[in-house]
Amino acid sequence: MKNMSTSYPQTGYNLYQPITVFDSGVGGITVLAQARKLLPAEDFRYFADIANAPYGDKSTAQIQELMRDNCRRLYALGSKALVLACNTATSAAAAMLRQDYDLPILGLEPALKPAVLRHKRVLVMATRLTLREKKFAALLDQVGKDAQVIPLACPGLMEMVEEDFRSEKIYAYLRHLLEPYRGRAGALVLGCTHYVFLRRWLEENYPCFVIYDGNTGVSQHLYTVLAQKGLLRQAETPGNILWDCSLPPGEERRSFLDKCRRDLAALA
């Protein structure tokens, strides 16, 4: 870390440290699941800032302050890469964090580029903050000129996924959101990792849309970065997952981490 305080002792990264996957809640588990398929020998740390969730309706300044605190903690624990498995945190804080820390920091952005290459009308589901950030505007300006891109802010959806991504309440929300576009758009971009939990239901109920998310892309990028730096582990046995969150010790913390494990298993 540049200008690093002695309170945070990591001064580099090495082959045997875990890969940290960060999100405000359970959404990043969808990235963790994809990354483990490509990197089965690696140890992963999953950290959820659930005590401060949701991020999607916070200001950029609030998220940057939270991410400064989170990264101090995670950096001190040691990691050979940090994956911001949260589109909102990526939009608000990735550039800032890369200036401060000396390890690979990978972020997510809506998978707009592959969608507009193949479709003339594209829906983008995301949080309000992701859609209003300069990063999304720049992405839209860069790749969205040859297609009509329709942003769909989804207030409250992330919180419902946190509670139970298989609830009828979510399905009603999605029908209300998407039914007006049935047959009127060819692609649906899931611009929040939480929404990837809903992909199977969306594919079954809205086959009119080709669905895109950024999880495969960031996982492949992670593989490439680690390979280039000589940091890929080679082992015959699967790596471990270290589960962590910002809740204090107690029943609420245990319950949340148990839910994380169940949600990962549900993606298998």
Under the banding of pLDDT at 50, 70 and 90, the label for residue 79 is very high
Q: Which residues of 210-233 are buried (b: 16+ CB within 10 A; e: fewer)?
A: bbbbbbbbbbebbeebbeeeebeb
Assess if residue 41 is contained within a domain. yes
d(CA 46, CA 44): 6
**Same-domain pairing of 36 and 95:** yes
What single-letter DSSP state applies at residue 54?
-
Q: Tokens 């969205």 appear where?
A: 144
Identify whether 13 is part of a domain.
no
245 tagged catalytic: no
Same domain, 88 and 117: no
Do both 63 and 137 map to the same domain? no
Distances (CA, A) of 159 to 131, 156, 219, 252: 17, 5, 25, 17
Q: Are residues 202 and 119 in the same domain?
A: yes
Nearest to 131 by CA among 151, 117, 150: 151
The amino acid occupying position 148 is Q
Task: State how far the Cα of 57 lies from the Cα of 39, in Å rounded to an integer.
Answer: 33
Closest CA to 20 of 108, 120, 99, 103: 103
- Whether residues 252 and 161 share a domain: the answer is no
Q: Which amino acid is at 44?
A: F
Task: Tell me if 125 is assigned to some domain.
Answer: yes
Full 3-state SS string of 74-106: HHHHCCCEEEECCHHHHHHHHHHHHHHCCCCEE
Concerning whether 154 is annotated as a catalytic residue, the answer is no
- Which tokens belong to 4? 């690093």
Note whether residue 1 is domain-resident.
Answer: no
Give yes or no: residues 99 and 221 share one domain. Answer: yes
Domain annotation covers residue 11: no
Q: Out of 213, 234, 258, pick the residue that ends a domain.
A: 213
> Domain of 181: which CATH number?
3.40.50.1860
pLDDT level of residue 10 (50, 70, 90 thresholds): low
Q: What tokens were used for 129?
A: 């903050």
DSSP H/E element including 113: helix 112-118
Can you tell me whether residue 47 is helix, strand or coil? strand
User: Could you read off the pLDDT of 123-175 as tens digits, one per residue?
Assistant: 999 998 889 888 899 988 988 788 999 999 999 999 999 999 999 999 999 99
Task: Give domain status of residue 4, yes or no.
Answer: no
Query: Which range of residues forms the domain containing residue 31?
Result: 19-108+216-266
Note the pLDDT of residue 11.
53
Task: Tell whether 154 is covered by a domain.
Answer: yes
CA-to-CA distance for 50 and 30, rounded, in angstroms? 16
Alpha-carbon separation of residue 224 from 37, 38, 188 (angstroms): 14, 11, 27
Q: For residues 127 and 183, state if they share a domain.
A: yes
207 and 117 within one domain: yes
pLDDT at residue number 162: 92
- Give the pLDDT confidence of 177-199 residue by residue, as tens digits: 999 999 999 999 999 999 999 99
* 250 shares a domain with 179: no
- Choosing from 86, 154, 245, 260, the catalytic residue is 86
Is residue 2 assigned to a domain?
no
Does 155 lie in the same domain as 127?
yes
Of 180, 198, 213, at which residue does a domain stop?
Answer: 213
**End of a domain among 184, 213, 242?**
213
Give the Cα separation of 181 and 206 in Å (integer). 10
Q: pLDDT digit string (tens) for 199-239?
A: 999 999 999 999 999 999 999 999 999 999 999 998 889 99
DSSP states of 199-266: HHHHHHH-TTSEEEESHHHHHHHHHHHHHHTT-----SSPPPEEEEESSPSSHHHHHHHHHHHHHHHH
118 and 88 inside one domain: no
- Dihedrals phi, psi of 180, to nearest 5 degrees: -60, -20
User: Domains in the chain: how many in total?
Assistant: 2
The catalytic residue among 71, 192, 245, 260 is 192
